[in-house]
Amino acid sequence: MAAHVAAVIDVTSTPTHLPIRCDKTPTATEAKHDQRLACERSNGPSAEARRAGVRSAATIRLFDMERLFLFPGSLRRDPAVDAWLRTDRGELGAIARHWFQAMRDCGDDVRELLHDGHPTACVSEAAFGYVNAFTAHVNVGFFRGAELPDPERLLEGTGRFMRHVKIRPEREIDAAAITHLIRVAYADMKQRLSVD
């Protein structure tokens, strides 16, 4: 089975050369964006951008792209994910299957893979959600969950980016709110990947 590799890049600790994808040499467009960002890091935004009070859309988009988990090896339907979902985990397995199917149903551009041993859903190659079954609960997680609107206060976690909803079989859940979080996470990631 091929290993899946994630590219995670953090603006605060990144060298001047930014590897956008870790499984190949950067494309000419990626290299150009690398140069632009490196220049802005060392010299600040261009004079025009400073006068306008904003950075360019390309720079803003690249800044967002730097903080994504990218999985170039994700597949439309990964047999390893199907095998994980078929594994007998009792009631917790049924819960995990249900919520991962909700992620799969978000759109035709959803790809998947096993990352850190659990099913992960991606928009194209950028991860937006995952499920994982533990001994007493299931996590429905979001890679950019810290930035998602959560009026029902379902999301847990203290990490810089990721959050999750903890589902326990014996507790009642707000299925509509969890479904909404999944769809918002998908739409958010799709927007981050959109071309200006």
Residues 86 and 181 grouped into a single domain: yes
Global pTM value: 0.68
DSSP state at residue 109: T
Could you tell me what percent of the chain has a pLDDT over 90?
A: 62
Looking at residue 92, its pLDDT comes to 97
Helix (H) / strand (E) containing 176: helix 175-193
Handedness of CA 191, 148, 34, 52 (dihedral sign): positive
Q: Are residues 28 and 86 in the same domain?
A: no
pLDDT tens digits along 67-83: 788 999 999 999 999 99
Task: Kindly report, residue by residue over 129-166, the tens digit of the pLDDT.
Answer: 999 999 999 999 999 999 999 999 999 999 999 999 99
| Total domains in the fold of the chain | 2
Average pLDDT over residues 86-115: 97
Let me know whether 39 and 124 are in one domain: no
Q: Is residue 72 part of a domain?
A: no
Label residue 110 by pLDDT band (50, 70, 90): very high
* Domain ranges, residue 168: 79-193
Mark whether 184 and 88 lie in a shared domain: yes
* 161 shares a domain with 83: yes
Place of tokens 């927007």: 191
By CB atoms closer than 10 A (0-12, 13-18, 19+), residue 116 is: exposed
State the pLDDT at residue 64.
53
Whether 74 is covered by a domain: the verdict is no
Do 45 and 134 sit in the same domain of this protein?
A: no
List all residues 6 or more positions away from 28 whose beta carbon is below 8 Å from its beta carbon: none
Q: Identify the CA nearest to 4 among candidates 108, 119, 166, 173.
A: 119
Same domain, 85 and 62: no
Nearest by Cα to 120 from 168, 154, 78: 78
